[in-house]
Chains A and B, each alone.
Chain A
Amino acid sequence: MADRPLPTIYPETQFYWDGAAEGRLLLNACTSCDGKAYFPPRPFCPTCGSRDVTVIEASGKGRLYSYIINHLPAPGYEPPFTVAVVMLDEGVKMVANILDCPAEPEALVIDMPLEVTFETRGDMKIPQFKPAGGPSA
């Protein structure tokens, strides 16, 4: 997977990728908004503008919110492959591929439960998702 695209990391998002390298999915959350999580990371809350924010570890549980099955080329990928939007139990959406699951409509049921896993890409770990309770990646 080394030739798949790598993220350009900025100071505000370094903690997220450091967490992923340790196998942890980290999110920002806003103290002023009763601990509400948000995504992607930034050092202030996009709902209220407060800088009083923390880093929390997500449960890693979510559900398949939407997806496409991509037949177009992408470096390091074998089309067709799934590009999904996952709704985390913490109430934030993020993009991932669905691993350990055929890229077929029959296997990709909207709202099916998912859990986080981590894909090795070069020196990095990339948060990914797979059907909950399935084999480990």
Chain B
Amino acid sequence: MSRASIAIVGAAETTRMGKVPELSQTGLHADAALNAMAECGLTPADIDGVATGGHDVAEICQYLGITPTWYDGTSVGGCSFITLVRHAAAAIQTGLCRTVLITHGESGRSNNRNHRPIFPSMQQQEFESIYGPLFPPSRFTLPVMRKMKDDGLTEEQLAMVAVVQREWAAFHPRATMRDPITVDDVLNSKMIAYPFRLMMCCLVSDGGGALILTSADRAKDFATKPVYLRGMGGESAEGPMISQMESFTSSKAFRVSGKQAFDSAGITHSDVDHLMIYDAFAHLPIYGLEDLGFVKPGEGGAFIAEGNTRPGGKLPLNTNGGGLSYMHSGMYGMYALQEGVRQMRGVSPAQVQDAKLSVVHGVGGMFSAAATVVLTTENQW
């Protein structure tokens, strides 16, 4: 029998999402942080650990009036916040701090900020950007034609990822896009970077989110329903030059991170009730399902197209609608975590009945980094 050591006791998104022109990026961090502290009855004086990605963590401390004994500013793109959950867990376990606030805020749409969240890569600029792929839709998609040739992945299967996630988004009042769509709608939407159409690409939003973590034995002190970490999760990195991925049909960072998380939690795939896989673009849930081992290599596209991940399917995936339909500020990982927490609290508008275990997996940059955590309702297993 193992006992949980770390609990998430506070979790909240910004008060508004989508278009929030009245807040700066720093303000989005703070709005989410204040919401998370309020729901579990904490003030800045109760926080001794602070972590964020894509933004100076010291600025967040100063803005919120927190004097930390531990901080972490890991910035590897959108999965940074998933990575920071496991870093925070390690810090709490080793006594570096007791109560950690992880914040995300991004003015992706209104651009109320003075810097981009991800460090530019020197080699990526020298050997890739000079050929014109300057934006994520024309970089992140580069491996996909190879996967289509090798695995038989089709444009219709890519389109079905967007269709199925829109079905989930329809449950969420806060989702940006909620109207049903068809495969034809997706394939007829504006061409962005063939074979990727507009509806296969993520939204561009303003928003933020925050989590508060502490030791599991303190969880009873809070009014919120605790969500426990099972195991210590996983992380890995392959690097920002997408052309140098070892394989174009599989992400090494996904495989390494996922295996660590499953091994650490001591779970098998049949234990997973709910799954979040960061979807900046439609191919990512396909790579994720394969690289985390839910399906065999090359079977992810068909698995989604056959309806296994849609409402009522055997593996509920991206139940907030994902970056394609819910929102995508630029670094979406925090919103995947928030939906994982809602599902474990039993309060998601798209609640999976009796869900006790959720896997949250994210990508950073363009297949540059990855992180995975396992959330559960149970404090022992």
Contact = CB atoms under 8 A, between A and B. Distances in A.
Contacts, number: 102
B146 interface: yes
B149 A110 contact: yes
Contact of B146 (A6, A66, A95): A66
B194 A7 contact: no
A48 interface: no
Most B CB atoms within 10 A — which of A72, A73, A77?
A72
Contact of A72 (B125, B127, B128, B137): B137
B346 interface: no
A95 B122 contact: no
B133 A95 contact: yes
A8 B125 contact: yes
B131 A97 contact: yes
Contact of B135 (A72, A85, A126): A72
What are the nearest 5 A-B pairs in CB distance? Answer: A69-B194, A66-B146, A74-B132, A68-B193, A7-B126
A94 B142 contact: no
B196 interface: yes
Contacts of B131: 83, 95-97
A7 B130 contact: yes
Contacts of A8: 122, 125-126
B260 to A, nearest CB: 23
B129 A5 contact: yes
Interface string A53-92: 0000000000001111111111001001101010000000
Contacts of B190: 71
7 contacts: A7-B127, A65-B146, A68-B141, A68-B194, A83-B133, A95-B128, A105-B194
A19 B124 CA distance: 20
Contact of B142 (A4, A9, A67): A67
B122 to A, nearest CB: 7
B47 interface: no
A39 B244 contact: yes
B192 interface: yes
In this complex, the interface size class of chain B, counting residues with CB under 8 Å from chain A, is: 20 to 34
Contact of A4 (B126, B130, B243): B130
In this complex, the interface size class of chain A, counting residues with CB under 8 Å from chain B, is: 20 to 34
Contacts of A10: 122, 126
B241 interface: yes
Contact of B127 (A65, A69, A94, A111): A94
Interface of A: 4-10, 13, 39-40, 65-74, 77, 80-81, 83, 85, 93-97, 105, 110-111, 126
Contacts of B267: none
A73 B192 CA distance: 10
Interface in B106-162: 122-123, 125-135, 137-138, 141-146, 149
B196 A70 contact: no
A72 B126 contact: no
Nearest to B191: A71
Contacts of A96: 131
Contact of A110 (B128, B145, B244): B145
Given A4-B130, A66-B145, A73-B134, 14 more contacts: A5-B129, A6-B130, A7-B126, A8-B125, A40-B244, A66-B144, A67-B142, A69-B194, A70-B193, A72-B192, A72-B193, A74-B132, A80-B191, A83-B142
Nearest to B248: A66
Contacts of B134: 5, 72-74
A8 B129 CA distance: 11
A66 to B, nearest CB: 4
A73 B193 CA distance: 11
Contacts of B138: 68, 70, 72, 83
B332 to A, nearest CB: 20
A64 to B, nearest CB: 9
Nearest to A105: B194
B250 to A, nearest CB: 14
B130 A71 contact: no
Contact of A126 (B130, B149, B192): B130
A3 to B, nearest CB: 12
Contacts of A39: 127, 244
B126 A40 contact: yes
Contacts of A74: 132-134
Contacts of A105: 194-195
